[in-house]
């Protein structure tokens, strides 16, 4: 189980941004709005990293495949025969 550390912070923040975040995120308190906003930023970054890893894997696999002449269906069939396809 992950231990959560909560610390008291005294920050100078733009009040209008906090109010807007509360509305957008449907938060009851300023703290809840800031927590939700931080979670959203972290989730967005995590998805971006995952997409980047997927793109790298696709490009790696594409580079390993030899050029198949003819119809695109031939290329797909060739890719399916590749033993490394699918992880």
In a domain, 24, yes or no: yes
Q: Is 0.75 surpassed by the pTM of this model?
A: no
Tell me the pLDDT tens digit for each residue of 13-63: 999 999 999 999 999 999 999 999 999 999 999 999 999 999 998 888 887
In a domain, 58, yes or no: yes
In a domain, 19, yes or no: yes
In a domain, 8, yes or no: no
Which residues span the domain enclosing 39?
A: 15-81
Q: How many domains does the chain have?
A: 1
In a domain, 5, yes or no: no
In a domain, 56, yes or no: yes
Indicate if the pLDDT at residue 87 is higher than 60.
no
Mapping DSSP onto H, E and C, the string for the chain reads CCCCCCCCCCCCCCHHHHHHHHHHHCCCCHHHHHHHHHHHHHHHHHHHHHHHHHHHHHHHHHHHCCCCCCCHHHHHHHHHHCCCCCC
In a domain, 35, yes or no: yes
């Amino acid at each position: 189980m992950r231990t959560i550390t909560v610390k008291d912070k005294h920050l100078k923040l733009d009040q209008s941004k906090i109010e807007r975040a509360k509305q957008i995120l449907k938060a009851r308190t300023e703290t809840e709005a800031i927590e939700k906003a931080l979670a959203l930023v972290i989730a967005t970054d995590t998805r971006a990293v995952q997409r980047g890893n997927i793109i790298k894997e696709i490009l790696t696999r594409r580079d390993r495949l030899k050029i198949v002449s003819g119809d695109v269906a031939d290329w797909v069939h060739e890719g399916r025969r590749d033993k490394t396809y699918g992880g």
